[in-house]
Amino acid sequence: MEAVKKNNVKVIGKGQKPMLFAHGYGCDQNMWRYITPAFEADYKVVLFDHIGFGGSDTTDYTKEHYDSLKAYAADVLEICRELGLQDVVFVGHSVSAMIGALAAIMEPERFSKLILISPSPSFINDGEYTGGFTKEDIQGLLNSLDSDYLGWSSTIAPVIMGNPARPELGQELVGSFCRSNLEIAKDFAHITFLSDNRKDLPQVKTETLILQCTDDAIAPLSVGEYTHRNIAGSKLVVLEATGHCPNLSAPEETVMAMKNFL
């Protein structure tokens, strides 16, 4: 059970149908603690940490292997295989939304539904596509991260979280970022912010819900609408929640949207 150990997998819940939760950049499975109780009675809830985050085992990490989001999608599929998961409801936040989409493209028969929370197929503006950032913006962000990760974390985490009236949320994200494996977090940031998965979206054939937040500084509404247009048959729900992390800032609204879809 190598992936189960490596990714610090936890299985909870009383149901049989698997529901697999994948956290966003700089986070860990603890970020789902306000969401999972609503599903534990009816689902087999599977939580894990991406390598370099939370309680994951980084012993076998190499930058050469983890050189794209597809490597992280392969980890998701390995967890599914080791646990014998089929007919999976995949819930992915932020970068893990694209990781889940890639996993569903690789093994579409394994997934029954995708719930993509604050997804972005590309952060960089390109012609008519508005990702929210210029190339210069992203390069500046990565340069800042590489030179002073802890300082960068304390600056960027409150921006990602939004909700300035609730500073404790931003501080939680800062703490999560700072607990990450420093070198892996830097590597993963480059992959996350430079990936372009726009061409992958039309290959997603799994029934998909896109949850888009209001006033998201990381993934603006145009990104959610683009993702919706390019995944055939997908459903887009724009939440009243603001910021990039409704799983923390507005769990009740997030749960309601998920349950309506399921």
Candidates 120, 195, 244, 249; catalytic one? 244
Task: Please indicate whether residue 75 is annotated as part of the active site.
Answer: no
What's the pLDDT at 146? 94
The tally of CA atoms less than 13 A away on the side-chain side of residue 248 is 27
Candidates 94, 122, 153, 195; catalytic one? 94
What's the pLDDT at 177? 87
Strand boundaries in 136-260, DSSP class E: 207-214, 235-242
Rounded to 10 degrees, what is the CA torsion of 58, 60, 62, 65?
Answer: -120
First to last CA, the chain: 30
What's the pLDDT at 164? 87
Regions of the chain short of the pLDDT cut 70: none
What's the pLDDT at 109? 97
Taken in order 99, 196, 159, 148, the sign of the CA dihedral is positive
* Burial (0-12, 13-18, 19+ Cβ within 10 Å), 182: exposed
For residue 144, how far is the Cα from the chain centroid? Answer: 22
Instruction: Round to whole Å and give the CA distance between 121 and 102.
Output: 11
Taken in order 22, 23, 29, 30, the sign of the CA dihedral is negative
What are 237's strand-pairing partners?
211
Smallest Cα–Cα separation from 154: which of 137, 181, 182, 173? 173
Please state the pTM of the whole predicted model. 0.96
Which fold is adopted by the domain 2-261? Rossmann fold (3.40.50)
What's the pLDDT at 159? 87
Task: Please indicate whether residue 94 is annotated as part of the active site.
Answer: yes
Candidates 216, 228, 234, 249; catalytic one? 216
SS3 of 137, please? Answer: helix
